Amino acid sequence: MNINQAFTILSEISGNHVARIIIDAEPNMSRMRLWWICRQLRRDVPVAKIIHNKWFYGLKFYTNKWTLDPRPDTETLVDAVINDYKRARHIEIADLGTGTGCIICAIAKNINATGVALEKSYHARRVARRNVNALNLSDKISVRRGDFGNARALPEKHFDVIVSNPPYIARGDARVDAGAMHDPKMALYAAHNGFAAYEQIATNAKNWLKYSGRIYVEIGMGMEVDVKQIFTNNGWKFINSVNDLGEIVRVLIFENTDK
């Protein structure tokens, strides 16, 4: 298959930008492979799920059907941690529900941090380990099986920082785009109108965070007041909120005041 022919066919389906991304990733695709890719695009499968990679914070991550694709909004979470700890000599960090591992890997690549990527999905852990190894971070990040709903999932009072982009979409929410339909449901949806994961994290994370340690959580649009209430009701001290590039509150920061 001629590369120009492939580009033309892909452009007709998804535009020049998407066609260029795919061609750059697979310049020598066969006619059969092109047919399969076109079929996936017509089904609204995200490009990252087709070519199995996504750039995040200047780093290339492997992704597949078992993980949530890294999203630009989540770079706000990474920025918040790096800005607060860029002068720290060293921090221990835990990433709750790590998925591809993009959050903790991006942080560890930019500041002096080591830690644990916690994930309950077997298949997602394999993806996270693949990314940790590909980014030469295996000496800094350990991918561990565990559920943030379990108070014993991590060592007690061990971490300086906890980060999480938990599932926060209410089941049945009609605002979910077509591309998200191809992400794992356990990474997207949460009970209690999308707040269940925050309730679990607010309850359990104090067991793992040092005194005055901070937790950074990503939230969905319009969730700020409720998530803040969940954490403050569990004894957390609210520190700050951070907006994404669209000026939407995307990250909430809390401090552990329990010794």
pLDDT in tens, 176-196: 766 677 888 888 878 888 899
pLDDT at 207 exceeding the cut of 70: yes
| Res 103: pLDDT | 98
Mean pLDDT, range 99-119, rounded to an integer? 97
pLDDT at 75 exceeding the cut of 70: yes
pLDDT at 236 exceeding the cut of 80: yes
| Res 174: pLDDT | 62
Q: Which of 23-32, 90-99, 100-109, 248-257 has the lowest mean pLDDT?
A: 23-32
Q: Taking the CB of residue 141, how many other CB atoms lie within 10 A of it? A: 26
Per-residue exposure over 74-112, b if at least 16 CB sit within 10 Å of its own CB, e if not: bbbbbbbbbebbeeeeebbbbbbbbbbbbbbbbbbbbbe
pTM over 0.85: yes
Q: Which of 5-19, 54-68, 129-143, 224-238 has the lowest mean pLDDT?
A: 5-19
Higher pLDDT, 175 or 130: 130
Mean pLDDT of all residues belonging to the chain: 93
Q: With cut-offs at 50, 70 and 90, classify the pLDDT of residue 175.
A: low
Amino acid at 75: E
pLDDT at 1 exceeding the cut of 70: no
Architecture of the domain made up of 72-255 = 3-Layer(aba) Sandwich (3.40)
pLDDT at 10 exceeding the cut of 90: no
Higher pLDDT, 139 or 23: 139
Higher pLDDT, 97 or 179: 97
| Res 185: pLDDT | 85
What are the pLDDT digits (tens) for 26-71?
888 888 999 999 999 998 899 999 999 999 999 999 999 999 999 9
